[in-house]
Structure formats: C-alpha cells, structure tokens
Amino acid sequence: MPSRLRRIDEPGHVHFLTISCYHRLTFFYHDAMKIIVIDALHRLRDHHDICLISYVIMPDHIHLIIYPHKRRNDEPIPISIIIKTLKQYVGYYGKNKLREMQARHGTLWSPAINEWMAHQRGQSVWMKRAYDFNITRHKALLEKIDYCHKNPVTADLVTTAEDWPWSSFRFYEYDDRSIIQMDWSGHWPIEW
C-alpha cells in the first residue's frame, strides 16, 4: 500500500474496501472468526447507520461495499472511521476467540497462525492499511458486487458463489437473510 494513501470522502460515493489479514494469514478460515466479522458489520450498521451493499469474507481478507452516509444525510462519514471501527472490533474479539480456540484445542489450523499467536503481543490481525476504491457509476458498482461474489470461486474454495455462505450473494439471489441482510434497494443513485 502507498505510504501517502489519500481517502476521498465525497457525498454520494460508494466505497469498495479490501482489508487484508496480517501477512495474509488465514485468520478467517474458521467460521467462528467469520462470525466476528459479521458481528462487526452489524455494529457498523447500528453505530454509524451506514448502508451495507455487499461483502465477502475470505480466509485471509474481506471485501466490503458500503455507502458511508447516515440515513437521509448527504455528508459521508469519513471512510477512515469506518475502517478503524471494523478493524478494532474484529481485532479485539478475534484475538480473544483465537486465544479461546487455542486453549481449547492446544493448536490452531495453521502453523503460521500458531507462530503468530506465540509472538502476537500488540500485533494486529490486520495489515496496517486498507484498500479503498470510490465508486461513482452504477456499472462499476455492479462489477464490484460481482467481483465479491465470485471471489470464493476464483480462490477455489467452492464451485459456485451460492455455495459460499459468507458473502452477500445468497441475500441478493435468494433473499437469504440468515447471516446478515444487505441494505441496498438496487436503485442508482443510492437511496438511503
């Protein structure tokens, strides 16, 4: 990531975020860790009243598409605040969950994660920076949603997007709200 990364917080912009795990470790391999990310998304929605559009949780990163505006408010919430809120929540509860799972089983699913746990004093589960891409066109938004949904297939985790429960695909395709509901109505520009 560039050291002088500039975030652009403009009214009406949608943001596509990519947040990677520290050294691309597979912290989100286990479903218990994925649930912590889902809890963080609920917290973002409740605390900041933002519009969740799409997401996917991969073993070593997440993609999130949001409209970072409070309902009926033209001023965006700074994307740096959204990223910080998400990273802090997942970092805190994720580390606690990893400690709990390691204590229960004696080991975790990856030698690299076990090594990280042995030396993790003060280390984050996240890379220091996050990638943020502003979306200003409907076509670009649909492409990024499609990218999120195809990510598990591209990574050979599943054969079809519907087989990966940790994305918004099933919400849009089947109105499946069992994991988390998305807020986007499909209209462009975003109505929130």
**Greatest Cα-to-Cα distance within the chain, rounded to the nearest angstrom:** 51
- Summarised one tens digit per residue, pLDDT across range 93-142 is 999 999 999 999 999 999 999 999 998 767 899 999 999 999 999 999 99
Residue 169 pLDDT > 70: yes
Residues 14-174: name the CATH superfamily. Answer: Transposase IS200-like (3.30.70.1290)
- Summarize the chain as % helix, strand, coil (round to 5): 45, 15, 40
pLDDT at residue 123, rounded to an integer? 85
Structural contact between residues 190 and 14, judged by C-beta atoms closer than 8 angstroms: yes
Mean per-residue pLDDT, 33-55: 97
Structural contact between residues 59 and 53, judged by C-beta atoms closer than 8 angstroms: no
- Summarised one tens digit per residue, pLDDT across range 133-151 is 999 999 999 999 999 999 9
116 CB-side CA count, 13 A:
21
pLDDT at residue 88, rounded to an integer? 97
Residue 81 pLDDT > 50: yes
How far from each other are the two terminal CA atoms of the chain, in whole angstroms? 31
SS3 105: helix
The 8-class DSSP code of residue 153 comes to H
Six-digit token string for 54: 């799409």
Residue 1 pLDDT > 60: no
Domain boundaries, the chain: 14-174
Average pLDDT, the chain: 95
Residue 36 pLDDT > 60: yes
Mean per-residue pLDDT, 70-81: 95
